[in-house]
Amino acid sequence: MMNILKKAVKAVVSISVLILIWELFVLTGRFEKSLLPSPAVVFTGIAKMIMDGTLFTNLKVSIARFLAGYLAAALAGVAFGLLLGWNKKVWAFIDPVIQVLRPISPIAWFPFIVLWFGIGDAPAVVIIFIAAFFPILLSTVSGVGNVDAIYMKVADNFGIKQPGLLFKIVFPSAFPHIANGLHLALGSAWVFLVAGEMVGAQSGLGFMIIDARNSLRSDLVLAGIIIIGVLGLLLDRLIRLLENRIKRQWGVISEERN
Partner 1 sequence: MFISVSDASREYFFKDKGKTTALHKVNLEIEKGEFICLLGPSGCGKSTLLNLIAGFDKPTSGQVSINGEVVLKPSEDRITIFQNYGLLPWRNVLRNVELGLEAKKIPKKERRRIAEEYIELVGLSAYKNHYPAQLSGGMQQRVALARALAVDPDILLMDEPFGALDAMTRMSMQDEIERLWQEKKKTIIFVTHDIEEAVFLADRIVIMTPSPGRIKSIIKVPLARKRDRTGVDFFKIRDKVFAEFGLKDTVEPDYYL
Minimum distance of partner 1 from residue 153's CB (angstroms): 6
66 binds partner 1 (CB under 8 A): no
Q: Which of residues 173-232 bind partner 1 (CB under 8 A)?
A: 173, 175
Q: Nearer to partner 1 by C-beta: 28 or 254?
A: 254
Report how far Cα 170 is from the mean position of its chain's Cα atoms. Answer: 25
- How far apart CA 130 and CA 74 sit, in angstroms, is 11
Binders of partner 1 in range 131-150 (CB under 8 A): 150
Judged by beta carbon, residue 174 or residue 227, the one nearer partner 1 is: 174
- Give the residue with the Cβ less far from partner 1, 29 or 159: 159
Query: Which residues, 6 or more positions from 9, have their beta carbon under 8 angstroms from its beta carbon?
Result: none
- Regarding 242 and contact with partner 1 (CB under 8 A), the answer is no
Interior/surface letters 29-63, b for 16+ CB within 10 angstroms, e for the rest: eeeeeeebbbbebbbebbeebeeeeebeebbebbe
Q: What are phi and psi of 216, to 5 degrees?
A: 55, 40
Is position 163 an interface residue for partner 1 (rule: CB under 8 A)? Answer: no
Kindly tell me which residue out of 172, 184, 211, 225 binds partner 1, with binding defined by CB under 8 A.
Answer: 172
> d(Cα 202, Cα 126) in Å, to the nearest integer?
16
DSSP assignment string, 213-229: HHTT-HHHHHHHHHHHH
Q: How far is the CB of 242 from partner 1 (least distance, A)?
A: 14
Among 127, 130, 169, 227, binds partner 1 (CB under 8 A): 169
Backbone region of residue 225 per phi and psi (left: phi > 0; alpha: psi in -120 to 50; beta: other values): alpha
Q: Applying CB under 8 A, which part among 120-128, 135-143, 154-162, 217-225 lies near partner 1?
A: 154-162
Residue with Cβ nearer partner 1 (96 or 251): 251
> Nearest to residue 133, comparing CAs of 192, 185, 68?
185
The only residue of 60, 102, 168, 240 in contact with partner 1, by rule CB under 8 A:
168
Q: Is residue 82 a contact residue for partner 1 (CB under 8 A)?
A: no
Report the residue from 71, 164, 238, 245 that binds partner 1 according to the rule CB under 8 A. Answer: 164
In contact, 56 and 50? CB cutoff 8 Å: yes
Residues that bind partner 1 (CB under 8 A): 150-151, 153-154, 156-161, 164, 168-169, 172-173, 175, 248-251, 254
